[in-house]
Chain A
Amino acid sequence: MAGPATSLAAKPARSGAGTPRVIRNPLWVRVVFMTLALGFLACFLVLPLAAVFAEALRKGIGAYFHSFADPDVHSAIRLTLLTAAIAVPANLVFGVAAAWCIAKYDFRGKSLLVTLIDLPFAVSPVISGLIYMLIFGLQGWLGPYLGAGDHPWFGEWFNQQDIKIVFAVPGIVLATIFVTFPFVARELIPLMQTQGNDEEYAALTLGATGWQTFWRVTVPNIKWGLFYGVILCNARAMGEFGAVSVVSGKIRGETTTMPLHIEILYNENNSVAAFAVASLLALLALVTLVLKSFIEWRHAQSRPAV
């Protein structure tokens, strides 16, 4: 640990020969900080992540892959993918629309909208789940009109439609959309604000339609920020536990997403399978990180060209 830390720490000292002596830290300070930071990372990030894989492979590679033969695991993976496939595009459209409004126009209540977009970040996921329960639960506001409800006027009709929200896929999707709501918008708003309206105005003066302006000017400008937001949104959508847990009903093979199924397997003393599924989620996170770095790199590269 000390070796790389020292060599990394030594580098800026050599290249930064021009910086005045007073604002350069002594070598030992840099070494200490570096070791602390890396040690912290190792203890709290790398080690647990390694533990997930170690536990998943504890009974060998055969047992690891055997865990994925369970149809309930398939269903959990499918449901997770389906949820993300609905939630991410929904929030993509919403995010672009919201960022557009906020960055390009001034209107009354703008700061309220900005605050509202941040709401899901501030609210605990459990509450996000419970609000849907309050609205769509059988004892809730709209619940009596849906699914098994028996409202005197609408009950019969809705009964036949068999609309399920909570304890079914729609509830899980709704809860996921709620918690992943801010990711795309949050990513785009500052980007679009810095870019301003000039290029769009230019396009419009040159005779482009609004639609052309959007696709040929705005989208290329925000492309990388958009990807970045989508990736974060996707990671959260697949990993969400709290909100989904409240509305899921935990029906095995039907309404358990991967994170919920991991908990179930763990509680069933099936830790190899639990950690095998967990490792799949962790792999997903790693892929996300790689994509994210790639996009950051591309974004940095494309900057000078724009």
Chain B
Amino acid sequence: MKFKIFLTVLLASALGAAASAKTITLLNVSYDPTRELYVDFNAAFAKYWKAKTGDDVTVKQSHAGSGAQARAINDGLQADVATLALAADVDALYNVGKLVPQDWQKRLPNNSAPYTSTIVFLVRKGNPKGIKDWDDIVKPGVTIVTPNPKTSGGARWNYLAAWGYALKKYGSEDKAKEFVGKLFKNVPVLDSGARGSTTTFVQREIGDVALSWENEAFLVLKEYGADKFEVVVPSLSILAEPTVTVVDKFVKKKGTEAVAKAYLDYLYSDEGQEIAARNFYRPRNETVAAKYVKVFPKLTLLTIDADFGGWTKAQKTHFTDGGVFDQIYLK
């Protein structure tokens, strides 16, 4: 039996290797809601790279909850680039697998976050529960859909936005903890990723409000029609910075370092920023941002570095085993 498995493995890897040897293939391991963004961006990049170097480049995509994807890369999913939902998940690539250098975040502009987003509320048409701000969603009888902060990046932004709001409004950590505790009492189901959560809210029709990436909420309006859902912008939210990096260890092995780097640089180009904005991610480039200023509502945004002391600290306080989230949720 063992020998047979071995043969099978050999055969299958030979097949696998033969199939992927012709053009340059990159693997972009990303988080859940970026599927549509990277379908557009990959096509644009392939065109750009062909014009620049004459090489064909195919970018394969893999999507799941951000934390789960970081775990998969550490387990050996050979990503050339990781475009995850937050810095802490990319940190894990250094902490666990030593796949990227410790200072990965300094290698690209804007904290290695080429586009940003924020957290908004997605409600059903007519806003039947009258949800305007964070206080309205923790009321008894309101059901909230959000993914699991342990596996999903978006969920961690959701959590921190709520925490930041409560801390500002009620003034103490204890009050914030109580507030977020009440919020998670209203959550009937924790999906593992943002897209699963959206499906739960939109297709399975569970919940009064979904805490959602802004880009995901706009996408729902676009896909399902503004006659079925509404976006509610709370008084305060968080500047969500999805971060990107080349996975050094794998690109060195595959010899794709240059293409992978160019791929990420292209995210910062005018074209890349345009594509991000068209897919409802807030662009960093000011010219492009000015063009799309009407799309993105203005609101007060907390930042992870100024208000939470950076991702390393936030991750440790709130989301590690036995952290604040566990204390709240397991209670």
By a beta-carbon cutoff of 8 Å, the part of chain A in contact with chain B is 82, 86, 90, 93-94, 133, 136-140, 143, 146-148, 150, 159, 162-170, 173-174, 177, 249-254, 264, 266-269, 271
| Pairs across A and B, CB under 8 Å, 28 listed | A90-B4, A90-B5, A94-B1, A133-B75, A137-B76, A138-B75, A143-B75, A146-B76, A147-B78, A148-B78, A148-B249, A148-B250, A162-B17, A164-B16, A164-B78, A165-B9, A168-B16, A169-B15, A170-B8, A170-B16, A174-B9, A249-B29, A249-B77, A251-B27, A252-B60, A254-B20, A254-B60, A267-B195
Interface SS majority for chain B: helix
A264 partner residues in chain B, CB cutoff 8 A: 63
A82, chain B: closest CB distance, angstroms: 7
A146 partner residues in chain B, CB cutoff 8 A: 76
Complex Cα distance, B96 from A146, in Å, reads: 17
Complex Cα distance, B77 from A82, in Å, reads: 21
Is B234's beta carbon under 8 Å from chain A?
Answer: no
Interchain CB contact under 8 A, A267 and B12:
no
Interchain CB contact under 8 A, A164 and B13:
yes
Interchain CB contact under 8 A, B77 and A139:
no
A148 partner residues in chain B, CB cutoff 8 A: 76, 78, 249-250, 253
Complex Cα distance, B16 from A227, in Å, reads: 30
B27 partner residues in chain A, CB cutoff 8 A: 251
Question: Given contacts A138-B74, A164-B16, could you give 4 more A-B pairs where the C-beta distance is less than 8 Å?
Answer: A90-B8, A168-B13, A251-B62, A267-B195
A138, chain B: closest CB distance, angstroms: 4
Residues of B122-150 whose CB lies within 8 A of A: none
Interchain CB contact under 8 A, A250 and B64:
yes
Asked if A143 meets B76 with Cβ closer than 8 Å, knowing A148-B253, A252-B60, the reply is: yes
A253 partner residues in chain B, CB cutoff 8 A: 60
Interchain CB contact under 8 A, A250 and B62:
yes
Is B61's beta carbon under 8 Å from chain A?
Answer: yes
Complex Cα distance, B2 from A94, in Å, reads: 11
Chain B 205-221 near chain A by CB (<8 Å), digits 1 or 0: 00000000000000000
Interchain CB contact under 8 A, B5 and A169:
no
B96 partner residues in chain A, CB cutoff 8 A: 139
Is B11's beta carbon under 8 Å from chain A?
Answer: yes
5 closest Cβ pairs, A-B complex: A138-B76, A137-B75, A249-B77, A167-B77, A170-B9
Is B223's beta carbon under 8 Å from chain A?
Answer: yes
Asked if A170 meets B77 with Cβ closer than 8 Å, knowing A251-B60, A267-B199, the reply is: no
Complex Cα distance, B39 from A253, in Å, reads: 13
Complex Cα distance, B225 from A269, in Å, reads: 13
CB-nearest residue of chain B to A162: B17
Interchain CB contact under 8 A, B64 and A139:
no
Asked if A140 meets B75 with Cβ closer than 8 Å, knowing A90-B4, A174-B9, A267-B199, the reply is: yes
Interchain CB contact under 8 A, B8 and A177:
yes
Residues of B67-82 whose CB lies within 8 A of A: 72, 74-78
Interchain CB contact under 8 A, B13 and A169:
yes
Is B35's beta carbon under 8 Å from chain A?
Answer: yes
Interchain CB contact under 8 A, B76 and A166:
yes
CB-nearest residue of chain B to A94: B1
B1 partner residues in chain A, CB cutoff 8 A: 94
CB-nearest residue of chain A to B253: A148
CB-nearest residue of chain B to A271: B203
Interchain CB contact under 8 A, B61 and A251:
yes
A175, chain B: closest CB distance, angstroms: 11
Interchain CB contact under 8 A, B75 and A268:
no
Complex Cα distance, B17 from A86, in Å, reads: 17
Chain B 268-287 near chain A by CB (<8 Å), digits 1 or 0: 00000000000000000000
A173 partner residues in chain B, CB cutoff 8 A: 8-9, 12
Interchain CB contact under 8 A, A167 and B78:
yes
A168 partner residues in chain B, CB cutoff 8 A: 12-13, 16
A177 partner residues in chain B, CB cutoff 8 A: 5, 8
CB-nearest residue of chain A to B72: A249
A167, chain B: closest CB distance, angstroms: 4
CB-nearest residue of chain A to B6: A170
Interchain CB contact under 8 A, B75 and A139:
yes
Choose among B35, B72, B196 the residue with the greatest number of A CB atoms under 10 Å from its CB.
Answer: B72
Interchain CB contact under 8 A, A139 and B63:
no
A94 partner residues in chain B, CB cutoff 8 A: 1, 4
B225, chain A: closest CB distance, angstroms: 12
Contact partner of A93 (CB less than 8 A), chosen from B4, B17, B63, B195, is B4
Contact partner of A139 (CB less than 8 A), chosen from B8, B11, B97, is B97
B62, chain A: closest CB distance, angstroms: 5
Complex Cα distance, B16 from A165, in Å, reads: 11
A139 partner residues in chain B, CB cutoff 8 A: 74-76, 96-97
Complex Cα distance, B17 from A94, in Å, reads: 27
Residues of B11-30 whose CB lies within 8 A of A: 11-13, 15-17, 20, 27, 29
Residues of B33-67 whose CB lies within 8 A of A: 35-36, 60-64
Complex Cα distance, B60 from A168, in Å, reads: 13
Complex Cα distance, B72 from A136, in Å, reads: 12
Asked if A136 meets B13 with Cβ closer than 8 Å, knowing A90-B8, A148-B250, A253-B60, the reply is: no
B17 partner residues in chain A, CB cutoff 8 A: 162
B253 partner residues in chain A, CB cutoff 8 A: 148, 159
Residues of B201-243 whose CB lies within 8 A of A: 203, 223-224
Choose among A90, A164, A252, A267 the residue with the greatest number of B CB atoms under 10 Å from its CB.
Answer: A267
